[in-house]
Structure 1
Amino acid sequence: MSEEWFQFQERIKDHFLSLGAEARTNARIQGVRTCHDIDVYVQTRYLGENLVWLIEAKFWKAKVKKNQVLALRAIVEDIGADRGFIVSMAGFQKGAIEAANKTNIKLKTFDELLSDTREFAESEILRAYRERVNLLEDRYWSHSKRTRIEYGLRHDIIDTVFTFTGQELLTTARSAIMAAEDRDYPIDLQMVLTERKGEATADSFQQLCNWLNLNLNHLDERLLNAEWRMHENGDYRPNTGRTRARDSYITEFMAKAMMGKLEEK
């Protein structure tokens, strides 16, 4: 093993670690038929789904050939991995590209691997945030307007200062997620609420995640405290139905309208 190849593997491993996955180099993995030596072995979990990726690091001067692709396809099948990557410094021959076409083997340069896998990870994280917003919204609207006002989940119509309203927080969170999906940074997170968390803009994905964590946790805490007081006072009478998958959420409609994403009829 050359020092350059060793460092190449380690850079790939460190990239996946930075995405929150488990990764190790020079792994020996038992397949159905035999053991295999894998340059970089990646395990992660997104939305309850376990994923295993195998990465072959080709720090070669020559382009990767078809037989290397076929060999990795066989290993991926024997181990039962979800996807295999060949990362090449020199590129790929035409036969290698054809052999990988429409399979779970992906041929990447190092820069392409960084970009594509980061986009995949970010899209899955955003999908998880969207589902959390869905759950919080169903919970928020399950209480009547009178109850939300009485227990501090929204302002009264006669209030001149908007201390807090879950509707605006959820709308802002949805519009921020939509902007992040389009990679439209910086993202405006301004709200009229006097009780808000975090910065007014997000210049990066990490900053957006920090904002979403702060504000969704804040809403979750307010809901929990309000619902506990409702229970103590005999006012806990929520509508426990969930929004159907084919229906739009109220704040989703509002966020799309704010961003000009409503489809013309």
Structure 2
Amino acid sequence: MVDTEPGWMKYQREVARFFTDLGMEALVDQKVDGARTSHDVDVLVRGSYVGFDIKWIVECKAWKSRVPKEKVFALRQIVDDVGADRGFIMAESGYQTGAFEAALLSNVTLTSVADLTERLRYDLAITKLMKLEHRADEARVRYWGLSKNVRIEAGLRPESGDGGYSGTSVIAGVDSVLREIRLRGFPVVYDPIMATLASYGGRYWRDPEGGGISFDSPEALYIFLDAELTELESKLDRAHET
């Protein structure tokens, strides 16, 4: 099938997906009312970013030439008229020198998807990490909705006194490591055994030379925890099918 979607439209959707991945609402081709008039904007972004409610106006330029300063002045006026917190011009082709000068000391950022991804990489990874909390909560409800015998047969927990896979330890480990990130940031240690003991009222103390896996970045931790939860979810799916 021939792809007939224009390049500018694809670029708008790519930009919108970027902000959606940050956990925000990103709407394409929006009419926004201002104090003086209404404006057609490429992408309207709303949501919460690093703890603050935001409204961003994003203009997408899928051009082969560099963006001139006139486009920056135009976006500055729109941002001011609609009361947005910030404006972005997204262009992979770059910007003229005058455009950078026009954006100085303003609330307009000149960037590209690639550059913004790098700038916000940490925030994006943290956002993705915190979404795992909801998956852990759902897994907890599904886990305790099964009888003990079913959990054992499904490999979700070992027989009493035996070692082996434990779904409760995975859930406790995810909860604990996400809580540690909120309180102290990175580096962080994922230690499901100690987290399980803490969840049953034990004192959560970790020997610096003891067990657990240390992570220095949210990207690496997300990949690991996503795999842990995916395995748990697969076991729960099979258990609930029986």
> The TM-score by the shorter chain falls in which range?
0.5 to 0.7
- 2:74 corresponds, among 71, 76, 91, to 71
Name the structure 2 match of 1:110.
Answer: 113
Q: CA deviation at 1:20?
A: 1.2
Moved over 6 A (4+): 123-127, 208-211
Q: CA deviation at 1:23?
A: 0.7
* C-alpha distance after superposition, 1:222-257 (max 9, x if no partner): xxxxxxxxxxxxxxxxxxxxxxxxxxxxxxxxxxxx
Identify if the C-alpha distance between structure 1 residues 210 and 105 changes in structure 2 by more than 3 Å, giving closer, same or farther: same
Structure-1 separation of matches of 2:49 and 2:97: 33
Q: Secondary structure at the match of 1:27?
A: strand
Name the structure 2 match of 1:143.
Answer: none
TM-score, normalization by structure 2: 0.57
In the alignment, residue 68 of structure 2 is paired with which amino acid? K
CA contact 1:63–1:90 (8 Å) conserved in 2: yes
Name the structure 2 match of 1:95.
Answer: 98
Identify if the C-alpha distance between structure 1 residues 40 and 174 changes in structure 2 by more than 3 Å, giving closer, same or farther: closer
Q: Secondary structure at the match of 2:35?
A: coil
Structure-2 separation of matches of 1:121 and 1:77: 27
Structure-2 separation of matches of 1:93 and 1:4: 22
The answer as to 2:74 corresponding to 1:58 is no
Name the structure 2 match of 1:179.
Answer: 186
Structure-2 separation of matches of 1:194 and 1:81: 43
CA contact 2:61–2:89 (8 Å) conserved in 1: yes
Structure-2 separation of matches of 1:65 and 1:91: 9
Q: CA deviation at 1:188?
A: 3.5
TM-score, normalization by structure 1: 0.52
CA contact 2:22–2:123 (8 Å) conserved in 1: no
Identify if the C-alpha distance between structure 1 residues 20 and 205 changes in structure 2 by more than 3 Å, giving closer, same or farther: farther
* C-alpha distance after superposition, 1:100-121 (max 9, x if no partner): 1121110112201222234345
Name the structure 2 match of 1:136.
Answer: none
In the alignment, residue 204 of structure 1 is paired with which amino acid? A
Identify if the C-alpha distance between structure 1 residues 193 and 205 changes in structure 2 by more than 3 Å, giving closer, same or farther: closer
| Identity fraction in percent | 31
In the alignment, residue 30 of structure 1 is paired with which amino acid? D
CA contact 1:66–1:96 (8 Å) conserved in 2: yes
Q: CA deviation at 1:17?
A: 1.2
Name the structure 2 match of 1:189.
Answer: 190
Structure-2 separation of matches of 1:14 and 1:103: 25
RMSD of aligned Cα (Å):
4.1
Q: Secondary structure at the match of 1:78?
A: helix
Structure-2 separation of matches of 1:101 and 1:4: 29
List aligned pairs for 1:148-187, cutoff 5 A: 173=180, 177-179=184-186
